[in-house]
Amino acid sequence: MEQKDFQKRGFLSIFASYYRPHWKLFALDMLCAAVICGVDLAFPYISRLSMQSLLPQGLYQTFFAVMAILLLAYLLKGVMYFIVTYWGHLMGVNIEADIRRDLFAHMQKLSFSFFDKNRTGQLMSRVTGDLFEIGELAHHGPEDLFISTVTLAGAFCVLLTIRWELALAVFLVVPLFVLFTILQRRRMSRASVAVKGKLAVINGEVESSLSGIRTAQAFANEREENRKFNTSNDQFRGAKRGYYKAMATYQSGMELCVGVMSVIVIALGGYFIMEGKMDYTDLITFSLYVTTFITPIRKLSAFVEQFMQGMAGFTRFVELMRTQPEIQDAPGAQALEQVKGDLELEGVTFSYGDGKPEVLEGIDLHISAGETLAVVGPSGGGKSTLCQLIPRFYDVTGGAIRLDGKDVREVKLSSLRRNIGIVQQDVFLFAGTIFDNIAYGRPGCTAEEVYAAARRAELYDDVMAMPNGFQTYVGERGVMLSGGQKQRVSIARVFLKDPPVLILDEATSALDTVTEQRIQGAFDELARGRTTLIIAHRLSTIRSAHRIAVIDDNRVAELGTWQELMDKGGEFARLCESQALAGKE
């Protein structure tokens, strides 16, 4: 389904659209449900026929033939239930998987700003827990509603032929039950949404706590983590209590309706027998049909509960699908081809919005193809933000960034990012092998290409010294590797990608001086022949840069070569002097 469909169509229409690829399974499920309804409706009627006609008239052979047919019908019903249970659940799982696929694909397109505002654990709750109940609704919802409606309608028609007055009296309870259900629906829906929200909060707390477990233990703050989790857990318990209270009210009302039906049948049936308008066989038949009502009414009850839970999750799913990525291709955007790497920033201004002050203001820079520009300055000056604007992780709020003369907002986002390689301070490695993490730079590459990239990153010998070589498991976020090894994996990944534009965002600031010196050669090799931006904290790492830009007070304060800036005796010279003093100390 296209993004625009989620904006225009209603919830039920969107939900129904997921049945289309699986209509054969859906049709089979409904056909089997129809057979089940037919068997349930036939039993009381055949019992009445046997007691009123076959047995009194001595038609014993016919009676036993009918019983044999009825037995076969129940055998068929058993087969139908197997199909409904197995294939129906399979259909629900398929729909759940389709929804999860669309949600995950959509989340891959969302901008950095979205993830800045939403916790990972809460998003995981939407991808897992919410969608499970949607799958259950997709299977049981139509089936339960169909069986209940057909059984009740069929039973009503049969009872009308026996004693219409009693049938009407019994079915007067049904509208009351429906009205009660409608009144309770909104209350249960609100309670179910609240439960979903609180569960997402718990998932967020768990994700945050487990991700920061080392920090928590280092500060001996396990008690504080338990306190935060227990607070969220208590809120979830309170929300669940409200939901169960609403559900208990509904269930008790449903049981009352069933009991009232049984009393009406016995009371009015007894009266009609006294008046000679009914016989005991008809009363038994009515009682059997009332017993038959219990199953569809219970199914309706289960359907309402399932509908509330499933639609609460589906509502959260649609809300997320309706979230538009802030960064997306402009109409008519063209793909970048044969990129040289000429980069120009003209009057670039940026703010994170919501009334926040500008992080960058009026930045003018031109980086020729193949040139290395180092960007330095005090912390919080906007250096990293500047580099996040080039691949459009965020969009400028003023001015323009051009690559080979083309505004980056007017080219296809995928082609822009394919031509830019980034090595960051906080290296993210996926929980897999070293080989997998390097190969991530260019999916589909050969093993030899991975090995070559590792050699260029000066990582190959280290990896081969490990017991499992390139199949060594790196652990969660690469915890099994040293800081220098993780950084060299990220360098090898970019070597494999081979982009014409390279951004090194404080890539060595988390490393010790010895490790930094070991991999500096890998960085120099990586930058050779590419347009390179180096965001640096340690000024000793940027001596090979062609030019240096000093960002201070959100602007370009100084620009020039190392020697020019040192001769000038300005901000850059003061930064060098302060680092030199710090080094001596």
pLDDT over 60 at 582, yes or no: no
- Residue 571 confidence (pLDDT): 85
Cα-based distances in Å from 101 to 98, 107, 108, 317: 5, 10, 11, 12
Quick one: pLDDT band at residue 538, thresholds 50, 70, 90?
confident
Give the model's pLDDT for residue 57.
80
Q: For the chain, what percent of residues have pLDDT higher than 70?
A: 89
Quick one: average pLDDT of 102-114?
A: 81
pLDDT of residue 210: 64
Percentage of the chain beyond pLDDT 90 is 6
Do residues 386 and 551 lie in contact, with contact meaning Cβ atoms separated by under 8 Å? yes
pLDDT score for 368: 92
Burial class of residue 407 (count of CB atoms within 10 Å of its CB; 0-12, 13-18, 19+): middle
Cα distances (Å, whole numbers) of residue 546 to 369, 413, 499, 560, 572: 12, 29, 19, 8, 15
CB 435 within 8 A of CB 450: yes
Angle at which helices 280-321 and 129-171 cross, to 10°: 150
pTM: 0.68
> Which residues lie below 8 Å from residue 566, measured CB to CB, with a gap of 6+?
572, 573, 576
Which tops the pLDDT comparison, 269 or 470?
A: 470
pLDDT in tens, 246-257: 778 877 877 777
Q: What is the arithmetic mean of pLDDT over 444-449?
A: 89
As a whole number of angstroms, the distance between CA 144 and CA 138 comes to: 11
Nearest alpha-carbon partner for 15 in 113, 131, 115? 131
Pick from 331, 10, 291, 298: which is nearest to 148 by CA? 298
Tell whether the model's pLDDT for residue 464 goes beyond 70. yes
**pLDDT over 90 at 578, yes or no:** no
Mean pLDDT over the full length of the chain: 81
**The predicted structure's pLDDT at residue 144:** 81
131 — phi, psi (to 5°)? -75, -25
Contact 146, 139 (CB under 8 A): no
Give the pLDDT of residue 585.
42
Give the pLDDT band of residue 72 (cuts 50, 70, 90).
Answer: very high
- Separation between Cα atoms, residue 432 and residue 429, nearest integer Å: 8
The pLDDT confidence band at residue 217, using thresholds 50, 70 and 90, is low
pLDDT of the residue at 177: 74
Which residue segments constitute the domains of the chain, with CATH numbers given? 3-321 (1.20.1560.10), 343-584 (3.40.50.300)
> What's 530-565 look like in SS3?
CEEEEECCCHHHHCCCCEEEEEECCEEEEEECHHHH
> pLDDT value at position 536?
79
pLDDT for res 400: 92
Residues 555/364, Cβ–Cβ less than 8 Å: no
Residue type, 171: F
**What does the pLDDT read at residue 584?**
44
435-444, 533-542, 558-567, 572-581: least confidently modelled range: 572-581
Cα gap 109→107, rounded to integer Å: 5
Cβ atoms of 92 and 142 within 8 Å: the answer is: no
47: Cβ contacts below 8 Å, ≥ 6 apart = 284, 285, 288
End-to-end CA distance of the chain: 63
Per-range mean pLDDT, top range of 163-177, 251-265, 427-441: 427-441
Angle between helices 222-274 and 280-321 (to 10 degrees): 150
Query: Is the pLDDT at 23 greater than 50, yes or no?
Result: yes
pLDDT at position 211: 62
CA distance 91 to 102: 17
